[in-house]
Amino acid sequence: MREMRAQLLDGMELERSRGITIKAKAVTLRTMYKGEEYELNLIDTPGHVDFQYEVSRSLTCCEGALLLVDAFQGVEAQTMANAYAAMEHELAIIPVINKIDLSYARVDEVVEEMEQSLGIDGNDVVKCSAKAGIGIDELLAAIIERIPPPSGNVSAPLQGMVFDSHYDDFRGAISYTRLMAGTVETGQKIRLARADAVYEVIELGQFVPKRRPTKRLRAGQVGYMICNIKSLKDVHIGDTIVSTGADAAPALEGYAQPKRMVYCGLFPSDGQDFKELREALEKLSINDPSFEFVAETSDALGFGFRCGFLGLLHMEIVQQRLEEECNVDLVQTAPNVTYRILDKRGVEHELHKPQDVPDSGEIEEFRQPIVRVNFVVPNDQIGVVMKLSQDRRGVQQSTEYISPTRAMITYDLPLAEVIYDLHDKLKSATRGYGTMDYELIGYEPADLVRMDILVNGNNVDALSVICDRRDADRRGRAVVKKLKDEIDRHMFEVAVQAAIGSRIIARETKPAMRKNVTAKCYGGDISRKKKLWAKQKEGKKRMKSIGSVDIPQKAFMAILETGADN
């Protein structure tokens, strides 16, 4: 009881400080029902669209799902996305309305929303309050009665799905496993099917919710497995654990590869930390397989990694985990989405960074990713959301009323217009009541260009961005103005320019720090002052030709400021 605290399953400090769930957490619960003991294996999943991969992995390991809806917020866009995902996996769904103890709860309206938007029978909805303990017995009874028990055969050959893992400096990789069939015991030899590596099981256990060792796990149970796996290349989420004999079970299908939406460069602030950054990324990728990384070189920042993420929030979380958990000091470049280019020879290329964009003469067609965005908003905020979408070149697809007070609006939007600030703008425009969810539907041709940023006459490759040609001039002026404010003053004048190809579209000048060289002249001939000024000017010019400009971290993120508010 001493260790009990609010949001017990949100164990990461980052989750508690941000107030969101980032990682799916497994927990085993034992309860009595009608005189018999039942063991329930539950997985708490995140809700944000950037962590959808955590949800999809969890659904693969389950027989049923609790569809949790807030008694005041009602059905949100992500609720509908997760409900359809559970239906695709043919899971038994138990609709639940939580927080019914709130004075402003609107239970009957929310039940009506669930009936209209999800086709759920209102009589099947379980009403409860986790905080006040209302309806918990009814919810546990519904889980036992409505969700079928695991179908795995305890006597069959061992077959277990690795659905998560993390790296421990002392014990190696710790695998979180759902046993589909068979039994595994401490001391037994097991084989990782994908890595084709054999290990001995050192420790088994379950989450209750802390790790508790046990001697045996059988089909249907969820637990952890420690095999002293030190080689990181042998650990794959979605791998199958099987026995080593000739009668070993076949490997399971595993998980579909996640679609990375956003890419950015991560560079160590000190070039000597490149090896430490690589090790930190490898360890973190065991716990979070939804991001990828590949080594790259930047003229401005040296050696680093090009990393792919599911969204902007996912990118922020990975960066913070690297800095806080792995103690790595990072410089992050501005994020960009994945584009496709069709060249003159008819060959399609996928671009993860602006520096790879070829000359305009080699491009037959520039294609950008398009996503279908579902907004769930109050009826009186429909006009605001429509203007927000049309300002970002959105194409309306449908409007559907899911209750007398709420509607779902569907737009097709360029992904680049969605990931940066659309969620924040939506929350501001709808006073926090609007929600959104999106999915990639394909790539469409667009009039796009690469905008380069020149500092002191040198092209800073890490500051290049891809943008719409119609927005280039306005965005270029906004970026150079922002960069001028972020870059510190030097002993020489610093020119900040935005260019498309060889054409300069915007310029700002950061003035030099100047000493009053004529302070000691109390009068006399003006020619003496002119000589001192000329000498100072010559010195500044010489400094500019050999000097280097220090660009702070904030400057790399400044190019996300499009100037739209102005």
Among candidate residues 228, 232, 177, the one with its CA nearest the CA of residue 205? 177
Among candidate residues 540, 542, 546, 549, the one with its CA nearest the CA of residue 492? 540
**Cα(357)–Cα(352) distance, integer angstroms:** 9
User: Position 59: which residue type?
Assistant: L
Return all residues near 152 (Cβ < 8 A) that are at least 6 apart: 159, 179, 180, 181, 182, 219, 220
Is 261 in contact with 310 (CB distance < 8 Å)? yes
Q: Report the b/e string of 338-348 with b at 16+ CB within 10 A.
A: bbbbeeeeeee
- Residue 449, token pair as written in the block: 């260009």
**Cα(542)–Cα(555) distance, integer angstroms:** 26
Return all residues near 407 (Cβ < 8 A) that are at least 6 apart: 376, 377, 378, 379, 382, 399, 400, 401
**Cα(326)–Cα(167) distance, integer angstroms:** 12
**Cα(376)–Cα(400) distance, integer angstroms:** 9
SS (HEC) of 140-174: HHHHHHHCCCCCCCCCCCCEEEEEEEEEECCCEEE
**Cα(50)–Cα(81) distance, integer angstroms:** 12
| Residues tagged in the binding site annotation | 98-101
Is 415 in contact with 369 (CB distance < 8 Å)? yes
**Cα(402)–Cα(345) distance, integer angstroms:** 49
| Residues tagged in the binding site annotation for GTP | 98-101
Name the strand (E) or helix (H) holding 279. helix 274-287
CA dihedral 502, 504, 509, 512 (to 10 degrees): 10
- Residue 100, token pair as written in the block: 């019914």
**Cα(179)–Cα(206) distance, integer angstroms:** 12
**Cα(476)–Cα(467) distance, integer angstroms:** 10
Name the strand (E) or helix (H) holding 84. helix 77-88
Among candidate residues 126, 134, 73, the one with its CA nearest the CA of residue 97? 126
Is 212 in contact with 257 (CB distance < 8 Å)? no
Is 183 in contact with 216 (CB distance < 8 Å)? yes
Is 177 in contact with 223 (CB distance < 8 Å)? yes
**Cα(513)–Cα(158) distance, integer angstroms:** 72
